[in-house]
Amino acid sequence: MDKSDFLKSPSIVAIIRGVKPEEAVDVAQTMYDAGIRIIEVPLNSPDPFRSIKNIVDSLGDKMLIGAGTVTTKDEVSKLKDVGGEIVVSPNMNPEVISYTKSLGMLSYPGVMTVTESFQAIEAGADGLKVFPADVVGMGFIKATKVVLPKGTPMLAVGGVSEANIDEWIKAGADGFGLGSSIYKPEMSLEEISDRCKKVMDLV
């Protein structure tokens, strides 16, 4: 299976910030059953690499699993060691991008300017995480796509929810990173499932 297909437009990256290792698999399975195929565990979650390993061991053959809030090469190495396949960053660090690619992983750095977008692509990024999307604005994606290499994926992350996904799609977003709108640590599995299904219906 070519998991990069999961990133074809429009794609959803589920950001499960705050998940604990002992509940990570149940949350991931619930999301998978609802149609989600990409999961990101932010590194400011409790024991994130153990959560990632648990999800990889259980669902790694049918989901694209990685880490978010990745800012150093050491974190990229640790993610590789536990079987993660996608590196999502809040910033654009050429060294982190090129190192990620040297390990055969997918790189989605955070950008909020045209200059950063081009620098990320030149460093080898597979796609761009427009972050924080609600600050940058929908017009940024539409305008930037005119000058970026054709086919460059742009994910809108930050302030995106089921209430405005349709608008972001019209603005040209190829995918979305969704966090609190589909997952919070206090949510029941039933609520997580319902929210994920609603989002998947929209895209």
Give the Å distances, CA to CA, from 108 to 54, 103, 117, 175, 185: 22, 14, 11, 12, 25
β-partners of residue 13 are 38, 177
Whether the CB-CB separation of 96 and 71 falls below 8 Å is answered with yes
What is the token pair recorded at 20?
Answer: 């604990």
Q: How many Å apart are CA 199 and CA 142, to the nearest integer? A: 22
Task: Enumerate the active-site residues.
Answer: 40, 129
Q: How many Å apart are CA 39 and CA 60, to the nearest integer? A: 10
For tokens 């604005």, the residue is 137
- DSSP 3-state of 63: coil
